[in-house]
Each structure stands twice: as structure tokens, then as C-alpha cells.
Amino acid sequence: MHLKGLFRSAWLMIGLLPVAPVAGQQAVVPAAPAAAAQATLSDGYVLGPGDVIELSVMGRDDYRARLQLQTDGVIELPLIGNVVAANKTVLQLKEEVRNRLKSGGYFANPIVNVTIATYASRYVVVLGEVASPGIVPIDRAYRISEILARVGGAKDNGGTMLTITRASGEEIRLNVKDIATGGADKDPLVNAGDKIFLAEAATFYVYGQVNAPGNYRIEPGMTLRMAIARSGGLTALGSEKRAKVTRDGHEVRVGLDDVVTDKDVIVVGQKFF
């Protein structure tokens, strides 16, 4: 039987699933090359378990498959057998399949196409005060600003500081404003497996002799004097000297130029006449 007929029959018998090696021919199971582990998202998407790819040889309708990488990262292809796809970029996988088809004498100069149908193995987790928290697949190298844009940005009650926790346990704290307006050093690349968390904004409560009592967001460096101004300033009866601050359930001595902290309760009393 001609090679083309053998190849077509193999596909039809298994419904486009991987086939067993031809009799008398042993499938080669390659070890993952050391260079594959060095691939990063900056080189292109790095394949991993769960990803679904579509692989074909140009001009050969009988060599076309849709495959999902299993937990061992291996895919099985007709004629060439097992191929380690995990930790390779699409370009690296295309080149390996092409070389093995050519060196095995199956095709003279094959043009191999590999596309990703489903991204599943590389993602970051975004939690906290963002519009759409959840899992965000990353198909290339993304900066933190791009990830924030993909989840709809910070909510109105989002804080000023964002935390990235790497898979290694390293923590990086970033100012949200700096991420939006700064350079690359303020807007780092994310890594697969990162957890990104935006906490709720720190707030203070104020009531008593102020024009607009209520709950307000604490801006960086906000002092007691600034907090009173934020609440509409003093009424005609109010006195800055009679402002009291309760922190963690205890009244504390705080000067007008001291910084307020999260959940501070400020009570502004009446002045004496």
C-alpha cells in the first residue's frame, strides 16, 4: 500500500485520534528538551496541560487534528508518535513536528500549522475590588495595566495599592495611579500563576459639627485637618480643637497634622463661647 493510502486509512480508522505505529516501526517517545523549559510568554504563548491545539500540514487534508494536551503534556500524532508539547511555544512545536516528519521521510518539506483553539494552562487570578474578578487566560506577555483593563478596571471603592503574589510567594505592591501613568518599571509583566488583589479603599467616618458627616475614602497622606475639610468643613459651632478620633475601639490622641488610618471614627465637638 502506498504511504498516502496507509496514512489516510490510519486517520479514518480512529476518527482523527492518534494512531499506533505502523507494524515493524517503533514510535519514538522523545524526552522534553532542556531548551523547552526556558520558553517564556515573552517568546510567545507557552503550551501546557489543558490547552487545545489544531495541527495540520498545509495541502494535506489527511493530516489534520484537534488535540488537547493531557497532564503529562504529551500529544500523539500519526507516523511520528508521541511529541512533548508542554513548555514549548507554538513556534517550537511547529518546528519539532516539521523536523520529525521530514527526517522520518514522510514528507519532503512539510509546512506545519499549529493554532491554539482553547487557552487553559496559562492564567492569572484577579480578586478584590475590580469590576469582573476571576481567572484571566494569558495568551502572551501582559502588563498589569492590561490585565486590569481586561477585568474592567478598579471599582469606585477600590484602594490605591494593588498586590501581586507570584507563584514563588514573592509579593509586589504597586500604586494603581502609578500603574496607569508610569513607565514599564511601574507596570510590570505578569507571570502565569500570579494572584492579583486590589483591596477595598481605606475609609474614615466623621460626624458631629461638620457640614457633611459620613463615610469617606482616605487619600494617601490624608491628615485629620484634611479629613475635616473633606467632610465639608466645620459648622458655625464646630471646633477643630474638640475633634476626637476613635481607632480600633479606643480613643486616641491625634493632632490636626497627623495621618488618619482605615476605619478611624472622627467626632467634631462644639466650641465653647
Domains defined for the chain, CATH in brackets: 3-24+34-118 (3.30.1950.10), 123-200 (3.10.560.10), 203-270 (3.10.560.10)
* In contact, 149 and 180? CB cutoff 8 Å: no
Rounded CA-CA distance 110/102 in Å is 7
Asked if 175 and 154 touch (Cβ cutoff 8 Å), the reply is: no
In degrees, rounded to 5, the angle at the alpha carbon of residue 37 between the alpha carbons of residues 33 and 43 is: 110
**Does position 244 have pLDDT exceeding 80, yes or no?**
yes
- Sequence-distant (6+) residues with CB within 8 A of 50 are 68, 69, 118, 120, 121
Q: What's the half-sphere exposure (Cβ side, CA atoms, 13 Å) at 230?
A: 18
| Residues ≥6 apart with Cβ < 8 Å to 233 | 210, 211
The three-state secondary structure class of 90 is: helix
Q: What is the pLDDT of residues 90-124, one digit of tens each?
A: 999 999 999 999 999 999 999 999 999 998 899 99
Burial of 18 (0-12, 13-18, 19+ CB in 10 A): middle
**Using an 8 Å Cβ cutoff, are 1 and 23 in contact?**
no
Q: Do β-strands 264-270 and 203-208 pair in parallel, antiparallel, or remain unpaired?
A: parallel
Mean per-residue pLDDT over the chain, rounded: 86
- Asked whether the predicted pLDDT for residue 35 surpasses 50, the reply is no
Per-residue pLDDT reduced to its tens digit, 172-184: 999 999 999 999 9
Q: Which helix (H) or strand (E) holds 146?
A: helix 144-150
Q: What percentage of the chain exceeds 90 in pLDDT?
A: 77
Give the C-alpha separation, 165 to 211, whole Å.
42
